[in-house]
Amino acid sequence: MTISELFLPEFEQEVASTRRTLERVPDDRFDWRPHEKSMTMGALATHVANIPSWARVVIETDAFDVIGPDGKTVRAPEVASREELLKLFEQNVEAARRAIAAASDEELAKAWALRAGEQTLFTAPRFAVLRRMVFNHLIHHRAQLGVYLRLNGIPVPSVYGPSADEA
């Protein structure tokens, strides 16, 4: 079994749970935040919707520079509604799915680097970057979004088992 064949079922499971979470983000709460140091619900949900796009970047490039050509930190596209959020998520998931499915074990074993201008933040095999920066990062921020939902009285979907709102 290839690495891609091992990763795809897990990716699909996480995508399904993430979709259920994003579907609950209300349009009228995009500006809500639990604390002044926290992201708004809209920014966090957009971050979650954008994370799958990183799979294609990791697989199809040797590195990513978080500093763009204009000298500013690269930012995800902004969305203003749940409909736009889900459209962005689905586009990113489809691109990630195709990239993961097409990646050979040899490609996934190659080194990939995250850079900030001239500074290399880290270098790791692509399969490890997919695990940490895509899968684990998605899980982490989806859980944060679940807390945002809870604090707003919005039912939290089940993810790995029942939630307090869904058996």
Residues annotated as binding site for a divalent metal cation? 47, 137, 141
- Report the largest interatomic distance among the alpha carbons of the chain, rounded to a whole angstrom: 50
Adjacent-strand bridge partners of 122: 114
Residue with tokens 């201008």: 117
CB atoms within 10 A of CB 96: 24
Do you know the residue count of the chain? 167
Structure tokens of 101?
């499915």
Residues of each annotated binding site: 47, 137, 141
Contact between 85 and 58 (Cβ < 8 Å): no
From 1, 3, 2, select the one nearest 130 (Cα to Cα). Answer: 3
